[in-house]
A and B are shown apart, each in its own frame.
Chain A
Amino acid sequence: MIVCVAVVGHQNNPLYIQSFTEADDALKLHHIVHCSLDVVDERVNNPKKSSPTLNETFLGLLYPTENYKVYGYLTNTKVKLILVTTDLDVRDADVRNFFRKFHAAYVDAVSNPFHVPGKKITSRTFAERVSTIVKSFGLSSAG
């Protein structure tokens, strides 16, 4: 189950963080996302070791922490998409698929002419779409 998704700007500024848990652990998830940036930074700075091809946007598992696994995705504009999940065995293909849809949603959101680049994404449509994607991730992995 996905507990948190986040969009982090190219200056490591959070653009969108949404947790999908009932528990009051938003701060913890913020910390997890924040810490994952270390790994993203490290992979970006040493690209030859992390990913076989330069154009690979999917960063894979960033790090496991406590009960969570953190996956990362880096767009060409250095926007990071972060996924925190509690599922222990996640298929890479599922995560890739999720990130592709998530990326498309993000692109649509920032294509809004009223969106100011660098500002937090406040679009409700985006939020709805992301939550749909998150729900479908759970379904597809189950099925």
Chain B
Amino acid sequence: MEPDVSIETSCMIRIAVLPMGSIAIPLFRDYTSMLVRHYTVSLSSISSFYTEHQKSPFAHQPWDSGSLRLKYMVGGSPASPWEDFQCNRKIFAVIGICHCPSSPDLHSVMDQFVTACKSYSSSVVQRCFAFCPGDSQLEDESFKGGNLILFPPADRQTQEFHLQTMMQDIAASLLMEFEKSVLQAESGGTILKTPLDSQASLSSEEVIKAKKRRLGRAQKTIGDYCLLAGSPVDANAHYSTSLELARLTGDFFWYAGAMEGSVCALLIDQMGQRDQVLDDEVKYRYNSVILHYRKSFIQDNAQRVSPLSFELEATLKLARYLCRKELAKEVVDLLTTAADGAKSLIDASDRLILYIEIARLFGTLGYHRKAAFFSRQVAQLYLQQENRLAAISSMQVLAMTTQAYRVQSRASTDHALYQESGQNHADGGKAHHNWIVSLFESQWSSIQMVVLKEILLSAVRGGDPLTAWSAAARLLRSYYPLITPAGQNGLASALSNASQRLPSGTRCADPALPFIRLHSFPLHSSQQDIVKRNHGRDDWWAGSAPSGPFIYTPFSKGEPSQSSKQELVWVVGEAVQVFVELANPCGFDLKVDSIYLSVNSGNFDAFPISVSLPPNSSKVIALSGIPTEVGSLKIPGCIVHCFGVITEHYFKDVDNLLVGAAQGLVLSDPFRCCGSPKLKNVTVPNISVVPPLPLLISCVVGCDGAIILYEGEIREVQISVANAGTVPIEQAHISLSGKNQDSIQSIAYETLKSSLPLKPGAEVRIPVTLKAWQLGFLDPDAASSKNISGSSGKQVKDGCSPVLLIHYAGPLAYSGDASTNGTIPPGRRLVVPLNICVSQGLSLVKARLLSMEIPAHVGEDHSKVQVETSSVEGSPRTDRFMKIDPYRGSWGLRFLELELSNPTDVVFEIGVSVNMEDSNNEENPEYDYPKTRIDRDYTARVLIPLEHFKLPVLDGTFLVKESQMNRIASRKSSFSEKSSKAEFNASIKNLISKIKVRWQSGRNNSGELNIKDAIQSALQSSVMDVLLPDPLTFGFRCGNNTVQDFAELNLDEESDIQGARKGSVRAHDMTPIEVLVRNNTKEMIKVSLSITCRDIAGENCVEGDKATVLWAGVLSSVTMEVPPLKEYRHSFSLYFLVPGEYTLLAAAVIDDANEMLRARAGANSCDEPIFCRGPPFHIRVNGTI
């Protein structure tokens, strides 16, 4: 059997085309392609080469319309045993092709050609075409008139013309030879035999029948020659005779042959015109042909030779003739018959050819699955041949079937389907449809896997590692769930074996593993936010970002996250990251040698990384790269170097796969079976790359993570801001955002401003003063969580730290870039979250007011009596200890006691300072008290003496209101009540604000306790006593001047001795004593003074009742008038009878007390006497010795 047969095959003249000398294969192909273009040579064009030697047997040759058909057998072909039966099987001409520059010795070429021609005994015309001869070869005269034809170097057109002329010459020669052959056949000299009848004819007894049969065969042969000579009418006449004779002699085989020829003659005569009648005629005749070939089957030589191949060939010829959609049924029937006949064919190569032809015809008919099925049969036949070339053929045939089975390599499919589907909507829909169909059809997994396995096998055998790799990759990627782990391992090793035979860096269109899907596009990190610049405004960033308190506004177009996803701006030269998820659903360790983003637009430098995936695992990795040029950027997928081959993995493929898996159309979701959670479909946003922008990078100097502060701690931190970009920063502005903004006490705005423009690489440090907020007040949940986490006290909580926003921008125009005509480069925003962790510091347990009552001694120093009122001047600021003067006492002195606990694990030191801001002092005196240390997990009490707050003068301004308040309380005048209350509170606040409790811990932690509320509640009840002086103050002193002088004289040397004596009074002695009454008000006060002196055993003699009074004396009703802010001295003498401790107590009843005094005393009614009492004074009375 022969491939590519058709009815017209009978009229084609076969010409062997052979390469001569040494000629490169591509060059030979090139020359051949020039040659095969002349497959028909019209008779009219060869008439000039034709010379009629004798009368032509082709009487009806159509010189004006006919043509000779040439069939070039490139590489030649062996002689067929059926040449006598069908003349067209003969090789009539041999053309050698030689490339002169590569084979300079033309003589040897000619020798070779002559030798080659010898094997073609039937050839009547031989020519050797020598292309591109050199000058010397052209000049060589020895080939003149021979068969060597030189084609001088010329342009293509000239050469083609030259070739055409030569072919016409050859055609004319062939025509003349055919005439000779016909004349020879007519003479009846030759005996025509076929392998079929070699024995049968010998045994034939009927000589006449044999003669007729010979005649009939000769007529058929003449008809064949007529067909070859392009004269169908002549051919038909001879065939008719032949048919008649063959029918008579029962020579069915030759009858069928003649019939075939007659159909061919009929078709040529019709010159390509087809109609129903002709079709029916051809069908009828060919059915007869097939029938007669079948009839000619002779049982006894069936083992050796059979006309079956002719029957099948005839079937194929008819099928090819009828091969049209409308006649599909008939063609299918013919082809099915042919396929059934294949089993009876003896020769394997015949079967191969038959299957090839059936597959081709089915393909032409549009029956792609059947075509694929038969192609697979062909491939299997090739594979049975067990040699490399057959394996390659098998592989190539299988590759053709892949489309029908939907397992085609991506190299063979339209890339547009992958690339453009997102672009055009209509096209995209279509592509999607195509894709869906392919997805559905991809369910024929059993067939598909077999095909891929066969491709793999044939590629391995045929030594095509790339195809093997591709097949194994497709098999593994698409059908891993159906392959056992051992099989998966086998495929993995097949992949690596194939890659070892490939040069490194080989690319393959079909991806293997892993599966890669887009995980997310991280938007700009907060460090790199790009903000559109609003030109012409000072705050150019305003309005670019959604502002307002609402996260969602119904007026903004679309979903904000959606819109941000659609547009992504990358900056040239700044590294970006894209997260992708890899999955290895197979049972082996997958080592991805390198993976990086694939960008077609060429303006992106991707950084490859290598990943290793354990069996059945998935991993999210960040792929990074740097945009290099301005423009738009697309990321269709990743380039993966795995199993030794570079492949491109498209995200779209995996997305489609996942959609299919969701619909149950695909075997398995590779990510799901690796345990990866379901992910929303991530769309690749439009990425545009903009020219370089400045880039600020910030860090807080000296702390890596959070700034850990104790409650109330104040610290200055340095925020270092550096320009990491390539463009200077010309504008910058700091603003605050987030919670707890008041914890930032100051920012050195000027530092940043003064450093502008910030050149690339430059760095600025901005000092920022922070004060830690109170934990308990602001986030109670944090406090509760602290309780759970024990005493660690550290609070790392997002969202409660303030945030610095630095808006910055480069110059207003891109440097030297005209293409951006007038657009302002955007600015950027740097978000510096001040990650403040407030840990619990000291905590106040309680605050309360204590009073301390230490009676004073009666001394000689007069001035000291007044310290209570004028101590401001007397105490130096640096006096850190509170001293109680024994001659002054501390009657009525009050202390604020703060109980503090330290739950932390560091030591705190508490310092209290009282800040006096009096108008009569030019400098603010401060009283610092010694520090109190509180160890960890301890509680301590800090006493704050409230000694310096008393006003020097009992002023009406304050108390009038106070008294009014009391009166007004009855009148229910709410307004003034309120105002006075406010005044009152203000004064308390004023007092409290003067007290500062600072703490220090370690070397550099310090802060202030926020205990104002606690103090206020502690002071609320008795603030009057703290703030206001009594209207009258009393003091006693010994009236003995000599004692005083003496004491002063000896103060330096004998202070201890004198000190013991000082203030001591002897019994049985008249002791002059002065009582000093000071009026603290601005009005004259008239009092009636009484002085009590008692000797008591108890400490407190004031209350009198409880104490055991041993001796007592009263001096009463001393009436005096004390001028405002003056002292009044009243001298008297005491005579002590018994030595001991005496207490002097002055008390006065104020006559005609005014409102203010009443208010101060808290009197309820106007008639009540206002009683004023001084602190007790001790006096020691020594006995006489």
A14: B residues at CB distance < 8 A = 443-444
B441: A residues at CB distance < 8 A = 11-13
Bound-state Cα–Cα, A26 to B367, Å:
22
A34: B residues at CB distance < 8 A = 369, 373, 444, 447
Bound-state Cα–Cα, A120 to B666, Å:
10
Interface footprint category on A = 20 to 34
Q: Give the nearest-CB partner of B327 in chain A.
A: A49
B672 CB to closest chain A CB (Å) equals 16
Interface footprint category on B = 20 to 34
A residues 105-143 near B (Cβ < 8 Å) are: 116, 118-120
B446: A residues at CB distance < 8 A = 26-27, 30
Bound-state Cα–Cα, A111 to B353, Å:
49
Interface-facing stretch out of A51-59, A63-71, A79-87, A89-97: A63-71
Bound-state Cα–Cα, A25 to B812, Å:
77
B336 adjacent to chain A (CB < 8 Å): yes
B328: A residues at CB distance < 8 A = 42, 46
A residues 19-57 near B (Cβ < 8 Å) are: 26-27, 30-31, 34-35, 37-39, 42, 46, 49
A72 adjacent to chain B (CB < 8 Å): no
B residues 840-894 near A (Cβ < 8 Å) are: none
B950 CB to closest chain A CB (Å) equals 90
A83 CB to closest chain B CB (Å) equals 17
A38-B367 contact in complex given A13-B441, A116-B664, C-beta closer than 8 Å:
yes
CB pair B444–A11 under 8 Å, yes or no, is no
Q: Give the nearest-CB partner of A15 in chain B.
A: B443
B368 CB to closest chain A CB (Å) equals 7
B450 adjacent to chain A (CB < 8 Å): yes
CB pair B450–A118 under 8 Å, yes or no, is no
CB pair A38–B369 under 8 Å, yes or no, is yes
B366 adjacent to chain A (CB < 8 Å): yes
Bound-state Cα–Cα, A12 to B441, Å:
6
Q: Give the nearest-CB partner of A67 in chain B.
A: B340
A66 CB to closest chain B CB (Å) equals 7
Bound-state Cα–Cα, A37 to B447, Å:
14
CB pair B447–A38 under 8 Å, yes or no, is no
A11: B residues at CB distance < 8 A = 436-437, 440-441
Bound-state Cα–Cα, A118 to B659, Å:
13
B665 adjacent to chain A (CB < 8 Å): yes
Bound-state Cα–Cα, A63 to B656, Å:
36
CB pair B369–A64 under 8 Å, yes or no, is no
CB pair B664–A30 under 8 Å, yes or no, is no
A31-B373 contact in complex given A64-B336, A120-B443, C-beta closer than 8 Å:
yes
Bound-state Cα–Cα, A14 to B445, Å:
10
B203 adjacent to chain A (CB < 8 Å): no
CB pair B440–A118 under 8 Å, yes or no, is yes
CB pair B440–A9 under 8 Å, yes or no, is yes
Bound-state Cα–Cα, A11 to B369, Å:
14
B447 CB to closest chain A CB (Å) equals 5
B347 CB to closest chain A CB (Å) equals 20
CB pair A66–B340 under 8 Å, yes or no, is yes
A13: B residues at CB distance < 8 A = 440-441, 443, 665
B948 adjacent to chain A (CB < 8 Å): no
B1164 adjacent to chain A (CB < 8 Å): no
A120 CB to closest chain B CB (Å) equals 7
Count A-B contacts at CB 8 Å.
68
B1082 adjacent to chain A (CB < 8 Å): no
CB pair B340–A38 under 8 Å, yes or no, is no
B329: A residues at CB distance < 8 A = 49
B370 adjacent to chain A (CB < 8 Å): yes
Q: Give the nearest-CB partner of A34 in chain B.
A: B369
CB pair A39–B332 under 8 Å, yes or no, is yes
Bound-state Cα–Cα, A129 to B325, Å:
38
A80 CB to closest chain B CB (Å) equals 13
Bound-state Cα–Cα, A13 to B663, Å:
13
CB pair B447–A31 under 8 Å, yes or no, is yes
Q: Give the nearest-CB partner of A26 in chain B.
A: B446
Bound-state Cα–Cα, A64 to B333, Å:
9
Bound-state Cα–Cα, A98 to B450, Å:
31
Bound-state Cα–Cα, A14 to B376, Å:
20
With most chain B CB atoms within 10 A of its CB, the pick from A11, A30, A46, A119 is A11
A12: B residues at CB distance < 8 A = 437, 440-441
A60 CB to closest chain B CB (Å) equals 11
B325: A residues at CB distance < 8 A = 42, 46
What 1/0 mask marks residues of chain B from 652 to 684 whose CB sits below 8 Å from any chain A CB? 000000000001110000000000000000000
CB pair B332–A63 under 8 Å, yes or no, is yes
Bound-state Cα–Cα, A14 to B328, Å:
25
A38-B370 contact in complex given A26-B446, A46-B325, A63-B332, C-beta closer than 8 Å:
yes
A28 CB to closest chain B CB (Å) equals 10
B residues 325-364 near A (Cβ < 8 Å) are: 325-326, 328-329, 332, 336, 339-340, 362
CB pair B336–A63 under 8 Å, yes or no, is yes
Bound-state Cα–Cα, A116 to B444, Å:
18
With most chain B CB atoms within 10 A of its CB, the pick from A9, A35, A66 is A35
B367: A residues at CB distance < 8 A = 35, 38-39, 42
A31: B residues at CB distance < 8 A = 373, 376, 447
Bound-state Cα–Cα, A26 to B445, Å:
12
Q: Give the nearest-CB partner of B441 in chain A.
A: A12
B339: A residues at CB distance < 8 A = 65-66
A64: B residues at CB distance < 8 A = 336
CB pair B447–A119 under 8 Å, yes or no, is no
What 1/0 mask marks residues of chain B from 1074 to 1109 whose CB sits below 8 Å from any chain A CB? 000000000000000000000000000000000000
Bound-state Cα–Cα, A19 to B444, Å:
15
CB pair A27–B450 under 8 Å, yes or no, is yes
B18 CB to closest chain A CB (Å) equals 41
A36 CB to closest chain B CB (Å) equals 8
Bound-state Cα–Cα, A11 to B436, Å:
9
B residues 444-474 near A (Cβ < 8 Å) are: 444, 446-447, 450
With most chain A CB atoms within 10 A of its CB, the pick from B370, B663, B664 is B370
Bound-state Cα–Cα, A110 to B441, Å:
20
Bound-state Cα–Cα, A100 to B277, Å:
41
B662 CB to closest chain A CB (Å) equals 10
Bound-state Cα–Cα, A84 to B362, Å:
21
Bound-state Cα–Cα, A12 to B436, Å:
11
A27 CB to closest chain B CB (Å) equals 6
Bound-state Cα–Cα, A42 to B336, Å:
16
What 1/0 mask marks residues of chain B from 358 to 399 whose CB sits below 8 Å from any chain A CB? 000010001111100100100000000000000000000000
CB pair A38–B336 under 8 Å, yes or no, is no
Bound-state Cα–Cα, A24 to B325, Å:
35
Bound-state Cα–Cα, A30 to B450, Å:
11
A33 CB to closest chain B CB (Å) equals 9
CB pair A119–B440 under 8 Å, yes or no, is no
Bound-state Cα–Cα, A131 to B697, Å:
73
Bound-state Cα–Cα, A141 to B441, Å:
34
What 1/0 mask marks residues of chain A from 1 to 15 whose CB sits below 8 Å from any chain B CB? 000000001011110
Bound-state Cα–Cα, A10 to B663, Å:
15
Among A9, A35, A42, A46, the residue within 8 A (CB) of B373 is A35
The 7 closest A-B pairs by CB, nearest first: A11-B440, A13-B440, A38-B367, A119-B664, A13-B443, A38-B369, A35-B370
Chosen A-B contacts, 25 in total, with CB atoms closer than 8 Å, are A11-B440, A12-B440, A13-B441, A13-B665, A14-B444, A26-B446, A27-B446, A30-B447, A34-B369, A34-B373, A35-B370, A37-B369, A38-B368, A38-B370, A42-B366, A46-B325, A63-B332, A63-B336, A64-B336, A65-B336, A116-B663, A118-B663, A119-B665, A120-B443, A120-B664
A contact set with B: CB distance below 8 Å:
9, 11-14, 26-27, 30-31, 34-35, 37-39, 42, 46, 49, 63-66, 116, 118-120
Given A63-B336, A65-B339, 13 additional A-B pairs, CB 8 A: A9-B440, A11-B436, A12-B437, A13-B441, A27-B447, A34-B369, A34-B444, A35-B367, A38-B366, A42-B325, A46-B325, A49-B326, A119-B665
B contact set with A: CB distance below 8 Å:
325-326, 328-329, 332, 336, 339-340, 362, 366-370, 373, 376, 436-437, 440-441, 443-444, 446-447, 450, 663-665
